[in-house]
């Protein structure tokens, strides 16, 4: 099938659709009963990520149920620090842990284990061979700043204070961590592409915690380097940048990273984004995930505001962040009908 017949891929390449292509961040996951049933048989989250058969099944579940235009690889951004040599596990009810945290250790003390990414590539190959021909396959990685915040603290945090302190107090040391993440991420995304993904997304979930100068150094510069190096290897593969919380810094991010599309979080006014971003740059977003939980008139109004905000710009309809576990299936079905005009 020609790439142009894939609505999402065509949008990423600059073609505006009569109705936007549609997928949802974290669409493969805990809100689906079939996911919960499979996870019960497979154990923990990380075990699921590293089981190619199971991870492929999870990736495909929302496509079978909803027929989204895009399928996003089921994995986790922390497989990159795992490949860099940190120990990775998930504490029940508390989230991921990485050891040793780099606030107390050096990157040089880690023993790299790139083979830990091999099961992810196996998952990609399985999914690529099973997707419907009209569905675009999306890979992803965490952006260096967000990944570094976990590597430094050894876990997630509300304000990313440990990483921010290191970035101010030891910028050379922090740069070493960022550079290592960039190197692995370029190879990781290239590997995903070589095994079958057709576009990739860079998730910078904690980009909003930085001042403009820090944003320039720790968000824009490393993402620009990833895009530059990845395009040298795979020039035709679109890259979506998602700097959550960037707000008014989105234009600089778009101009300087040279991503092919920008993801907008739910705090961004889509009308402002249409006026502020480079003309014809594809955008993705940006329904509030909690509007999808609420449903009813609030959901319809939010959907409609987004649908009319981009009169001439290529647009992929998505959430402003990941779908939450208590999202009703019926609300997702309603969203799909309304966006597609059904």
Read off the CATH number of the domain in which 223 is found: 3.20.20.210
The tens digit of pLDDT for each residue in 291-312 reads 999 999 999 999 999 999 999 9
Does residue 52 fall inside a structural domain?
Answer: yes
CA pair distance 303, 310, nearest whole angstrom: 12
DSSP 16: P
CA pair distance 340, 273, nearest whole angstrom: 22
The tens digit of pLDDT for each residue in 121-145 reads 999 999 999 999 999 999 999 999 9
DSSP 28: S
- Helical (H) or strand (E) element with 1: none
Q: Give pLDDT, residue 93.
A: 80
Q: What global pTM score does this model have? A: 0.96
Give the pair of three-digit tokens for residue 260. Answer: 């092919």
Q: How many domains does the chain have?
A: 1
Does residue 102 fall inside a structural domain?
Answer: yes
Q: Give pLDDT, residue 4.
A: 56
**Spatial contact of 81 and 114, defined as CB atoms under 8 Å apart:** no
Instruction: Check residues 292 and 1 and name the one with the higher pLDDT.
Output: 292
Does residue 114 fall inside a structural domain?
Answer: yes
Question: Mean of the pLDDT values across residues 5-18?
Answer: 95
Q: Strand, coil or helix: what is 278?
A: coil
Does residue 320 fall inside a structural domain?
Answer: no
Does residue 24 fall inside a structural domain?
Answer: yes
User: What's the full length of the chain, in residues?
Assistant: 342
CA pair distance 297, 281, nearest whole angstrom: 30
Residue-number span of the structural domain to which 209 is assigned: 20-279
**Spatial contact of 326 and 290, defined as CB atoms under 8 Å apart:** no
Please compute, for residue 153, the number of CA atoms within 13 A of its CA located in the half-sphere on the CB side.
21
* Sign of the CA dihedral running 124, 76, 178, 145: positive
State the catalytic residues.
26, 30, 39, 76, 150
Among candidates 271, 293, 284, which has minimal Cα distance to 243?
284
């Amino acid at each position: 099938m020609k790439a142009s017949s894939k609505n999402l891929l065509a949008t990423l390449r600059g073609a505006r659709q009569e109705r936007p292509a549609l997928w949802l961040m974290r669409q493969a996951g805990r809100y689906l009963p079939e996911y919960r049933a499979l996870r019960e048989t497979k154990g923990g989250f990380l075990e699921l990520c590293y089981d190619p058969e199971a991870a492929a099944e999870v990736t495909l579940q929302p496509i079978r149920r909803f027929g989204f235009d895009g399928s996003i690889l089921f994995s986790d951004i922390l497989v990159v620090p795992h490949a860099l040599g940190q120990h990775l596990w998930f504490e029940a009810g508390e989230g991921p842990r990485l050891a040793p945290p780099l606030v107390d250790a050096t990157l040089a003390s880690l023993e790299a284990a790139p083979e830990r990414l091999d099961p992810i590539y196996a998952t990609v190959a399985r999914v690529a061979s099973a997707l419907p021909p009209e569905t675009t396959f999306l890979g992803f990685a965490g952006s260096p700043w967000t990944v570094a915040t976990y590597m430094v603290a050894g876990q997630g945090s509300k304000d990313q204070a440990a990483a921010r302190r290191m970035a101010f107090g030891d910028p050379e040391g922090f740069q070493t961590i960022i550079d290592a993440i960039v190197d692995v991420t370029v190879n990781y995304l290239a590997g995903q592409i070589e095994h079958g993904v057709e576009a990739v997304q860079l998730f910078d979930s904690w980009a909003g915690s930085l001042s403009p100068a820090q944003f320039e150094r720790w968000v824009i510069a490393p993402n620009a380097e990833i895009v530059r190096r990845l395009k040298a290897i795979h020039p035709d593969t679109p890259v979506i940048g998602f700097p959550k919380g960037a707000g008014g810094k989105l234009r600089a991010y778009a101009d300087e990273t040279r991503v092919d599309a920008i993801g907008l979080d739910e705090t961004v006014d889509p009308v402002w984004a249409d006026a502020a971003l480079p003309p014809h740059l594809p955008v993705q977003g940006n329904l509030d995930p909690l509007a999808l939980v609420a449903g009813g008139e609030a959901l319809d109004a939010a959907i409609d505001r987004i649908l009319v905000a981009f009169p001439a710009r290529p647009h992929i309809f998505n959430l402003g962040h990941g779908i939450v576990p208590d999202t009703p299936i019926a609300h997702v079905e309603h969203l799909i009908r309304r966006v597609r005009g059904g």
